[in-house]
Structure 1
Amino acid sequence: MTTTYAVLSEGLEKRFGKVHALRGLDLAVPEGSVCGLLGPNGAGKTTVVRILTTLTRPTGGRALVAGHDVTRDPALVRRAIGVTGQYASVDGDLTGRENLRLFARLAGLRGPAGRSRADELLERFGLAEAADRVAATWSGGMRRRLDLAAGLITRPRVLFLDEPTTGLDPAAREDIWTAVRALAEEGTTVLLTTQYLEEADRLADDVVVVDRGRAVATGTPDGLKARIGAYAEVTVAGTAALDGAAVVLDRLTGGRPVLDRQRLTVGVTVPAQGLTLPRIIRELDRAGVPVTDASLRPPTLDEVFLRLTRTPVAGTPLAGTPLAPTAPAEKEHAP
């Protein structure tokens, strides 16, 4: 079966004077999927979105959105897409209903058709009760949902979400995630840029990691995690045993163990193949290291991101240091 791509770029380049923002970026997003575009600040994510949404022209390569060339057919691209930027673009002096009716008119939906579409979206995003209050009185999460609704006025084939949950609390983020999942289930293609690794893990069918203007890795979230390996952590009976545990784990993995003297733990990234928790425990026992607990878990997407970009992520170690766990995991306990 032939795959049809809603977004396709080949060798995409963009220069801003001496700054080389994109360096031959390739991207392929199948129709009806959610693609998470990840990367550190300055990696080129927003530049990609601006090119794909016809807001800026590439200086090299080509890009197709909904089958239309972004350079040769920008008007056709705009008719096929919806865009939600990093910050809510709604007018705080207008009510929610007035905002959506304004967007409808700008999109060519006038009269009853525009009013009906605005009311439909207010209901869909749980905003109907607040629809006739000025948007300036709404919470940040409500304004972001209104902004997302505005991007859907024309029922776009492709929706671009550029860091849509920046600054939102967990409950508001969950509301946006629910809306995005529903759109994908209905067949809308979504390209999502985000700094929240959990967001990509929860929403994306495929992830593209961008660093220094290039795609450095592509795959499903689980597939990318599998490439990194796993993370082993052992808890020892006292501080005197920490160094011995580190020596054993270093020998077994070739990594650089991370010692936490307060928690009495030693952790290390484990190669993708071959090393099991029972073997780790046996080797520690042979070395006379008293272990009270041990676990072996998959890496988080944060750790994958760090390993691929060598860039610090909130809650993870600095680049160049061993990866440490960023969240509790289900444990396989030592006997």
Structure 2
Amino acid sequence: MKPFDYLSPADPAAAVRGVAGNPDAVFLGGGTNLVDHLKLGVAEPRLVVGLAGLLPTEIEELDGGALRIGAGLSNSELAADPRVRARFPVLSQALLSGASGQLRNMATVGGNPLQRTRCVYFQDVTTPCNKREPGAGCSAIGGWTRHHAVLGASEHCIAVHPSDMAVAMAALEARVRVLGPDGERVVPFVDLHRLPGDAPERDTVLEHGELITAIDLPAQPLARRSAYRKVRDRASYAFALVSVAAALEVVDGVIVDARVAFGGVAHAPWRAYRAEEVLRGSPASEESYRAAADAELADARAAEGLDGGNAFKIPLLRRTLAATLRELAGEDTR
């Protein structure tokens, strides 16, 4: 780990000024991702700006049952909040499926969506990686691809976003409140993350020095019937091979409304708009679930690799979506 300066600012505005004014500065929240990258040599900032005690840690009630979640709140506290568990169970389930209890106690709501990919080549500074060093090449293409993207990838990067919480936030149409050098702005959660394109080094649309201060969850009655299903190589402390966050409203056997997002399959939490369109107005049936999956995965592309590739993710995601929707429709009796 290379030496760096540390700044403890007086307030969020001072923190923003400290990072925005220095291209080699970074924010430090819970540190569950950044500290790893400091140790690995992936991140080598000259200035670390601490956020301890600066960001709100409360969950504020808004009109109609909406919630505003302070960015300094821990993942554990958010998952355990009775309002979140009752109104947005998909979010609580997603949080509890991620990492370990110790990490959830440290990780923050503002930092979780900004964690970087766990691609082994990104984390290994001895290998070329366009995300870590633009123009270096992508070692994952043709390499070990089991955990990599089948949606939205590019010739420059096939890594996936690791957050479980972010998948639920995308399905719930959350809105991110951001403080920057020019003041505050609000970013729809589905627009926060970028697909790699020809600039995979940019994970999000945030500018350097912009800081997440809170995330708003709009009131959505259908979110009370929501769930998160994660498929992984082992039962705990593992990232998703595929995951599904879904909310469903069914009346007299017909799907009135739906929200669906995928994890583990793209560079960003993947909002499944095509699947939602197919589901709305369709019977709550296996045929509808398969049709929704087929529509969303029409452009899915597997990556070949030294480990046999990741083609298995496509049928696995189809089955995981169907299983999640069956559960929400009350058909899953397992």
Rg larger in 1 or in 2?
1
Q: TM-score, normalised by structure 1?
A: 0.25
Q: TM-score, normalised by structure 2?
A: 0.25
